[in-house]
Every structure is written in structure tokens, then in C-alpha cells.
């Protein structure tokens, strides 16, 4: 009987794959493809040419080590010294754009705008100019998690003054690079900055202040984003003509069962995790989601706090933040099935405030990262949720990618499968759901320093040999396949680069209810 069920599942799995191949959809002619990196993860040169220390420099140098392999980003991919080489690789892939981030402490070594490091400005000028000379559009993230250390010592992002410092920094970069950079992202993933950085301790600066660290950090980040956006509109938009957005990450939450309770729990998780960051910017009413406000206020009173753990915006701040976007930057990797959880475990915390429990469907295919499972339809549902809740804004998918182990082969069939499956869902979102998706960014251009995991996990389209001082880059199978998607605007499941043997596709992703 078990063999029969297994065979039936195998037949169904092949049917799903065949159906994906037969959609016939192509990406619109003006759809753009690119790849992404972040400054600390690839640049290296951590103390060269006037750069100041940031929170990741500090955290990775401490004893005992913070990372799984006791590694740092001191050298990383040595991208600081390989601008021309890396841009030529990007050109060979045919990417339309390259998303990278600026190192705040490379430009402003002590975090303040009273001194701008000319060698830091020159490095990014060289990179931007090289990209443009090769017809590659730069999409620049102003802040990707690497707070200057001395600003952290003043309290970091829970300190409201950080909004002032960020606006000063943003003005410097708009002034230095905005004549050529026309696509900006203020922040990458406020959730990771705030919840991981100040509530759970999983990211730098690794503070565990779960009661309100994430809430106060998020409050400052949203104000900083809104103010930077308005500053660009008032001081730079007319002469530079650029666009400014923000990147927010979302793990899709699907009901565990069809029960009303689980459906409500899943929607609550989406609103209180994703909407927590997006609502103030993209909703018509602005402000935090009402259910987040109501629950945190109620629980804060029950827990004996003299005021809500979730700060309040002034009416002026609500108006300033609302609508502060020219597009929606979305990072998405995976999903969870969710059920209601009214327990008091972890109270007080944001997790308790949300009151749900996320689980993995055992049918989902894992990656090398313990949090990342292959659930392609979660991306489409996220895009549909954005359309329904925020009036179908333009969405640029700013990250999507797959983790394998540090010793995984160049013939990375699982990564190819991941990209094909997720891009099929993007096509469905565009053609069947009319979602306004205009671009897709693969994470990552190359293997790099993966935060707490160090170099034990790899996300790159290009392999980097971290044992070789020259840090050579070698294309994986996924780099060739992604380049073919860019060229043809289609997903070709049968495409096999001549350098590699053909993958034997075994698609095991099925809907959770099956």
C-alpha cells in the first residue's frame, strides 16, 4: 500500500512539473532581471582607505566567535579590489541591473556627515561608472545592516536620533551619486535590522531586548525612511529624476488547516509581521495595522507596562511616512503553515503579541538553511496579498534565492530548480493575477559571507573559493540558466549548459493539503 501511495505521489509530482513547463508564459518585454549583494558580505577591506568599524566588524571580531565557522567579513569576496572584474562577469550574464549596498562607515567613518571619506566616495564612483559604461543599471541600497559602531554605542536604531543621522547620511549619498543612480532603496529588511538585531539577538548588534527592542527600532527606521524619501523629493528629485523605495521581506503564512481559527491566525501573522513594516508606507490610512496596535496595547497593559511597548506616531509622522514610496521592494524566500497559539511562552515579545505558531509542511523540500524550504506558491500569494492590500503598487523583487552547503557542486541543480519554480509563480502572478511586478533579483551574485552562518552556506550564482587569496569566481550551472532566462524572457526546463550534464528533474513540491 505504501509503495502504491509513493508511486501515485511520484506521478502527481511529474504532472506538476509538466504543468509548470507548459504554461507558455513569457516575461514582459520591459521586465528587468538583476542580481544582488550587500557591502559587508562581499567587499572586505574592512579597515582600508579610511573606513571606520561597523557593528559586524565588532561582532565578528569578538571572542567567543559569533559565526558558525568563526569567520569574519574582513576579506570576504574582496570585491573592494575587483570592481572591473566583477562588472565584466555581470555583463557576461546579461543582467539589466546590479543591486548593491553602500557601506555607511566606508563613506562616513564615524557615522556623522561632518567628515566624508573621499576614498570611500571614489570606490563607489568607480563601481557606478563601470556599471553604467557596461549598460548595467545600479540599484543602490543605502543601508544593509552595517551600522557604524560609534552610532551603535549611542543606542543604535532604537534611539530616535538615528533618524537624524540616517537622513544626513542619505543626503551625502544622494549628493555624491544621484546624478547617475536613479533607483534607490533606503533600507533592506527592517525585520532583520530590528527583530533580529534588537529583539532576538540573531543579527548584529545581537541585543536580546525582546520586550520592545524590535518595536522601537522599527519605529525609528520607518521615520528615517519617510524623512529620507521626503528629503529626496524636496532637494534632489527635480534635478536628478530618481526613484526611492524600501525593501521589506516576507515569509508567507498559510493556514495549517481550513479552520476559521487557522485562517485568521495566518492572516494575523501576515499583517503583524509583514504589514508591521509595510502598512505605514503603503496603505491608504498609514500608521501601524490596527490589529497590531490593539493587541500590543492590550498585552502591554496586562503585563504591567506604564505605556504600550509599541510607540505611537504623531499625526504629522503618519502623513509624512504614508505614500513615501515610488515602488515596493520585496525580498521573499520561503513560507510557513500557521496555526493559532494563545500560550504565554516568550511573553512579553512580538511573537507572543502575534499569537501564532509557524510550522514546516513535511512535504516541502529543504535547503541547506534550516529556515528555507522550497515553497514556490508562497511568492505568488505574497504578490497577490500586496496587490489586494496596497492597491497593486509596482513591485521589484529585490531578493530571492536558495542555500546550499559550502562544498556543493557547481552543477547546482537544486538552485536551478528553485529559481525556475519561483519564477513560474512570478509569471502566474503577472499573467493570471495582474500583479504589477516589473523586475526580479536573484540572491546572490556570488557566494559571500552569510552573516551568522559565515561561509558554511552558499547562495551564489558564482562560486567563490575562499581558500584562495585571489578569491576566484567560477560560474555555477545556475549562472548559465539564469543568463538564459534573461536572454529569452522565458523559463526553459530543458536548458542545459554545455559545461554540465543534464539535471534529472524530480519535483516534490506539492500543496500542503495533499
Q: Rounded to whole angstroms, how far apart are CA atoms 153 and 28?
A: 48
On whether residue 320 sits in a domain, the answer given is yes
Residue 111 is assigned to a structural domain of this protein: yes
Per-residue exposure over 469-484, b if at least 16 CB sit within 10 Å of its own CB, e if not: eebebebbbbbbbbbb
Contacts of 190 (CB under 8 A, 6+ apart): 217, 218, 221, 222, 246, 248, 277
Residue 165 has a pLDDT of 98
d(CA 200, CA 292): 19
Q: Which domain holds residue 316?
A: 30-488
CATH of the domain at 41: 3.20.20.80
Cell 534611539 sits on residue: 159
Compute φ and ψ for 28, nearest 5 degrees. Answer: -55, 155
pLDDT at 317: 98
Residues 6 or more apart whose Cβ sits within 8 Å of residue 462: 89, 445, 446, 447, 473, 474, 475, 476, 479
Which one-letter DSSP state was computed for residue 502? P
Residue 7's pLDDT is 34
Q: Give the CA angle between residues 394, 396, 397 to the nearest 5°.
A: 135
Answer whether residue 23 is part of any domain: no
What are the backbone dihedrals phi and psi of residue 450, each rounded to the nearest 5 degrees, phi first? -100, 60
Which H or E run includes 395? strand 395-399
Q: Give 253's contacts (C-beta < 8 A, 6+ positions apart).
A: 266, 267, 269, 270, 273, 335, 336, 337, 338, 356, 358
Residues marked active site are found at 189, 399
Instruction: Please give the C-alpha separations between residue 37 and each of 58, 225, 369, in angstroms, as whole numbers.
Output: 21, 21, 18
pLDDT of residue 505: 75
What torsion do the CA atoms of 123, 128, 133, 136 make, to the nearest 10 degrees? 140
Pick from 113, 140, 124: nearest CA to 37: 140
Is 158 contained in some domain?
A: yes
CA distance 269 to 263: 10
Q: Using CA atoms, how far apart are residues 74 and 45, in angstroms rounded to an integer? A: 6
Predicted local distance difference test score (pLDDT) of residue 23? 63
Q: To which residue does cell 545600479 refer? A: 138
Residue whose C-alpha is closest to residue 38's, from 50, 54, 49, 52: 54
pLDDT per 10-residue tile (average), the chain, 514 residues: 33 36 83 98 98 98 95 98 98 98 98 98 98 99 98 98 98 98 98 97 97 98 99 98 98 97 98 98 98 98 98 98 98 98 91 97 97 98 98 98 97 97 98 98 98 98 98 98 98 95 67 36
Residue 430 lies in a domain: yes
Q: Report the DSSP pairing between strands 373-374 and 356-359.
A: unpaired
Does the residue 501 lie in any domain? no
Distance CA 109, CA 216 (A): 25
Cell digits for 344? 504565554
Length of the chain: 514
Nearest to 392 by CA among 438, 333, 424, 427: 438
Number of domains comprising the chain: 1
Q: What is the dihedral of CA 387, 391, 397, 401, to 10 degrees?
A: -30
Q: What is the pLDDT of residue 21?
A: 53
Residue 192 lies in a domain: yes
pLDDT at residue number 475: 98
* Domain-embedded: residue 92: yes
Cell numbers linked to 353: 503579541
Amino acid at each position: 500500500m505504501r509503495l502504491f501511495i509513493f508511486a501515485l505521489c511520484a506521478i502527481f509530482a511529474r504532472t506538476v512539473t509538466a504543468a509548470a513547463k507548459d504554461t507558455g508564459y513569457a516575461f514582459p518585454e520591459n521586465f528587468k532581471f538583476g542580481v544582488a549583494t550587500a557591502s559587508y558580505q562581499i567587499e572586505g577591506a574592512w579597515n582600508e582607505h579610511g573606513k571606520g568599524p561597523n557593528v559586524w566588524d565588532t561582532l565578528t571580531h569578538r571572542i567567543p566567535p559569533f559565526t558558525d565557522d568563526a569567520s569574519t567579513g574582513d576579506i570576504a569576496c574582496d570585491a573592494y579590489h575587483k570592481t572591473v572584474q566583477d562588472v565584466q562577469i555581470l555583463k557576461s550574464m546579461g543582467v539589466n541591473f546590479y543591486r548593491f549596498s553602500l557601506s555607511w562607515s566606508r563613506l562616513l567613518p564615524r557615522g556623522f556627515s561632518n567628515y566624508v571619506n573621499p576614498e570611500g566616495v571614489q570606490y563607489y564612483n568607480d563601481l557606478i561608472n563601470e556599471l553604467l559604461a557596461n549598460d548595467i543599471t545600479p540599484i543602490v541600497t543605502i543601508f544593509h545592516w552595517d551600522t557604524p559602531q560609534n552610532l551603535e554605542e549611542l543606542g543604535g536604531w532604537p534611539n530616535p536620533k538615528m533618524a537624524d543621522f540616517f537622513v544626513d547620511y542619505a543626503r551625502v549619498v544622494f549628493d555624491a551619486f544621484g546624478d547617475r543612480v536613479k533607483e534607490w532603496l533606503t533600507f533592506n529588511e527592517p525585520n532583520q535590522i530590528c527583530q533580529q538585531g534588537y529583539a532576538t539577538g540573531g543579527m548584529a548588534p545581537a541585543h536580546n531586548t525582546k520586550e520592545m527592542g524590535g518595536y522601537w527600532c522599527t519605529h525609528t527606521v520607518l521615520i528615517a525612511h519617510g524623512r529620507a524619501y521626503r528629503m529626496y523629493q524636496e532637494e534632489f528629485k527635480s534635478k536628478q529624476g530618481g526613484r526611492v523605495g524600501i525593501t521589506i521581506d516576507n515569509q508567507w503564512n498559510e493556514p495549517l488547516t481550513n479552520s476559521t481559527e487557522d485562517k485568521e491566525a495566518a492572516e494575523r501573522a501576515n499583517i503583524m509581521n509583514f504589514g508591521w513594516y509595510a502598512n505605514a508606507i503603503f496603505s491608504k490610512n498609514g500608521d501601524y495595522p490596527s490589529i497590531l496596535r490593539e493587541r500590543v496595547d492590550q498585552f502591554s497593559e496586562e503585563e504591567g507596562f506604564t505605556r504600550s511597548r509599541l510607540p505611537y506616531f504623531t499625526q504629522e509622522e503618519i502623513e509624512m511616512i504614508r505614500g513615501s514610496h515610488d515602488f515596493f521592494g520585496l525580498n521573499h524566500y520561503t513560507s510557513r503553515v500557521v496555526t493559532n497559539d494563545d500560550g504565554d511562552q516568550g511573553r512579553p515579545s512580538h511573537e507572543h503579541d502575534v499569537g501564532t505558531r509557524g510550522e514546516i509542511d513535511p512535504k516541502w523540500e529543504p535547503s541547506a538553511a534550516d529556515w528555507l524550504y522550497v515553497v514556490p506558491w508562497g511568492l505568488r500569494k505574497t504578490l497577490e496579498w500586496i496587490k489586494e492590500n496596497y492597491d497593486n503598487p509596482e513591485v521589484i523583487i529585490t531578493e530571492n534565492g536558495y542555500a546550499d552547503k559550502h562544498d556543493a557542486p557547481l552543477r547546482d541543480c537544486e538552485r536551478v530548480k528553485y529559481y525556475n519554480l519561483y519564477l513560474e509563480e512570478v509569471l502566474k502572478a503577472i499573467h493570471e493575477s495582474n500583479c504589477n511586478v516589473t523586475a526580479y533579483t536573484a540572491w546572490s551574485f556570488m557566494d559571500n559571507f552569510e552573516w551568522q552562518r559565515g561561509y558554511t552556506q552558499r547562495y551564489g550564482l558564482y562560486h567563490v573559493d575562499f581558500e584562495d587569496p585571489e578569491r576566484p569566481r567560477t560560474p555555477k550551472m545556475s549562472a548559465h540558466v539564469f543568463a538564459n532566462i534573461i536572454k529569452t524572457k522565458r523559463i526553459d526546463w530543458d536548458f542545459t549548459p554545455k559545461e554540465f550534464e543534464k539535471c534529472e528533474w524530480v519535483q516534490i513540491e506539492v500543496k500542503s493539503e495533499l
